[in-house]
Structure 1
Amino acid sequence: MTTVPDTAARSRTVLVAVAALVLGAVAMAISPAFVRWAEVGPFTSAFYRVFLALPLLALWASLERGGDTRPDPGWTRAIVLTGLFFAGDLFFWHLSVLKTTIANATLLATMAPVWVMAFSSLFIGEPVTRPMLAGLALCVAGAGLLIGASSLLDPSRFVGDLYGVGTSLFFGLYFLAMRVARREARPGLVLYRSTIVTAAVLGLVAAVAENAWLPAGLSGVVALLLMAWVSHVGGQGLLAYALGHLSAAFSSLVIFMEALAAAVFGYLLFGETLGTWELLGGAGILVGIWVARPREG
């Protein structure tokens, strides 16, 4: 029988994990601003995002090892797939940004929870509850209001929109792989090793697709460092922690929080529109996450 103290401890753990998701979403949402300021090509900036994060992630993994009594799981298939899927996510994201509107790319990328909930039971054995599905519907509607006013259907952008769908698929698969990897290892170790895989793939892509490796000035260097340390170590690190305590289906809804935070950053940093419909969309996302929240039992 579950005791009251055990239930209270579990509730605190869930609350901390949800807070980590929200903070991680904010940290990831500011990455487009760093990309704009990076002064290098999109694939090169994606490579630097993960490559420059490796020293901090190595330190994190090393510090974790001192308090972990579990054996090192090694380079498991889940860890390698996590790195490959995140490389695919960043690759298609940057292609979609180049080939379609920012609004369309962002809206399509936020559909990753649809893939997570479609595959969660089949691939990782985690059932999707009715509240999660209801929360997903509210979040999708909210995202449509938040970004839909700026998105347009245009046949000339069809390929770019397909890249946006590819982004959502790979990020959804990333959630599933990270969730499985976290069952066997601590977050720092999983993120460090998977980031090595991602950096290797994106380094090859950048070498083939682009030839400007160095930013023009100090501001570009600072932007790249902040993208690595804030968006990857901070954002993906908090996500990796949360996925050790929460289901992949619920955790994936953080992507909608990322869209909300991105809209706020766009308003504060670049003067982008944030009107009544956008605010209603943001409220819909918050309500959807509340409806899908973890419940005891």
Structure 2
Amino acid sequence: MHPADAPISALPATSSRAFAALVVANVALAFGPWFVRLADTGPVASGFWRIALAAPLLVALAWGSGGRPVRLSPRLWWILAAGGVCFAADLASWHLGILRTTLANATLFGNSATLIFPVYGFLVARAWPTRTQGVALALAAAGALLLMGRSYQLDPRNLVGDLLCLLAGLLYTVYFICMARARDTMAPLPALALSTLASVVPLLLFAWGLGERVRPGDWAPLIGLALASQVLGQGLMIYALGKLSPLVVGIALLIQPVVAGAVGWIVYGETLGAPDLVGIALVAAALVLVRRGPVAGDAADADIRPVKEPA
């Protein structure tokens, strides 16, 4: 039996741990829009506090793990800085959009890297997707359309928020590409800590430029946002980014609108209908396909894998 055809339980333990980390990361990140709505600061200011509160903890964790930022090449410093600035712009655009559309739509469009990041992976590998990968992408795209289609039809006023979140998704893709390159030679915690530090000042400037309230009256939503989204969510995401293919990482991002849709349904009455449930089923099927890898009919084509993890 080809290793890619093996059942999930027979796959390498490292891959299983990375996939579990990816799932937990997306579940944690899905609660971000809710915390942004609960925050009493401006939406971009809440993004600043997400980063500012998480940065000291991430730096301490990176330092404690032995990943001290020494002897990094100038090119790597620029990659990390670019990733941090793109992430700051992503958060600013996304948090503005969150307040102008539904939680499900905000999370879906904010994760449009679902389809863009796998394309980057295929371009880097100079390979076409296998049949299994193509089917998985098609299922993911269909599921994504169903998850957002009904919500837009019910309330076209979501359009501005959707466009802001779509811009955020494009910036998130650039951030992913930068972090994937950094992970070629860096451990996850130091990479995330340095890119997080690069996001602090741009977000504060964005918030001030928009005239937002920066100082919070209630710290609880911001602390929850920092711990769930930046420390746990992004921490596990960057770990998985160095061990799983862009295809798997990209499609797994659709876990977020599913969870956010459930939160929106329970907390804000943003009801999920039959199209949403079908979309969720299609996303689940896509995840199963990319998790199991190519089938026998795909010949010897392997899943697009990241560069070998550094020692």
Give the TM-score category using the shorter length: 0.7 to 0.9
The equivalent of 2:291 in structure 1 is 293
User: Which aligned pairs between 1:1-297 and structure 2 lie closer than 5 A?
Assistant: 11-65=12-66, 72-73=71-72, 75-98=76-99, 104-122=105-123, 124-125=124-125, 127=127, 129-130=129-130, 131-152=132-153, 160-216=161-217, 220-293=218-291, 295=293, 297=302
User: How big is the alpha-carbon RMSD for the aligned residues of Structure 1 and Structure 2?
Assistant: 2.9
- When residues 135 and 204 of structure 1 are mapped into structure 2, their CA distance, relative to the original with a 3 A threshold, is same
Amino acid at match of 2:205: L
Shift of 1:169: 1.0
User: Are the structure 2 counterparts of residues 57 and 126 from structure 1 closer, same or farther at C-alpha, using a change threshold of 3 Å?
Assistant: farther
Q: Is the 8 A contact 2:33 2:103 kept in 1?
A: no
Which consecutive unaligned segments of at least 5 residues does structure 1 have? none
CA distance in 2, matches of 1:22, 1:204: 33
Name the aligned partner's letter for residue 277 of structure 1: P
Shift of 1:96: 2.9
- Cα distance in 2 for partners of 1:101, 1:271 equals 10
Quote the offset at 1:119 in angstroms: 2.7
Cα distance, 1:104 vs structure 2: 4.5
Equivalent residues of 1:83, 1:196 under 8 A apart: yes
Distance 1:260 1:222, change over 3 A: same
Amino acid at match of 1:246: L
CA 1:22–1:194 in 2, change beyond 3 Å: closer, same or farther? same
Give the direction of change, closer, same or farther, for the CA distance of 1:100–1:279 in structure 2 (3 Å limit): closer
Q: 1:273–1:153: structure 2 CA closer, same or farther, 3 Å change rule?
A: closer
Q: What is the CA–CA distance in structure 2 between the aligned matches of 1:134 and 1:225, rounded to whole Å?
A: 40
- Give the distance between the partners of 2:72 and 2:46, measured in 1 at CA: 31
CA pair 127-154 structure 1, distance change in 2 beyond 3 A = farther
How far does residue 25 in structure 1 lie from its aligned partner after superposition? Answer: 0.5
When normalised by structure 2's length, the TM-score is 0.82
Distance 1:149 1:211, change over 3 A: closer
Cα distance change of structure 1 residues 269 and 154 upon mapping to structure 2, 3 Å threshold: closer
Q: Unaligned 5+ residue runs, structure 2?
A: 4-8, 295-301, 303-311
Is the contact between residue 128 and residue 249 of structure 1 (CA under 8 Å) also seen in structure 2?
A: no
Maintained 8 Å contact 2:25/2:233: yes
Percent of aligned pairs with the same amino acid = 35
Q: CA deviation at 1:283?
A: 1.2
Change (3 A) 1:186 1:17: same
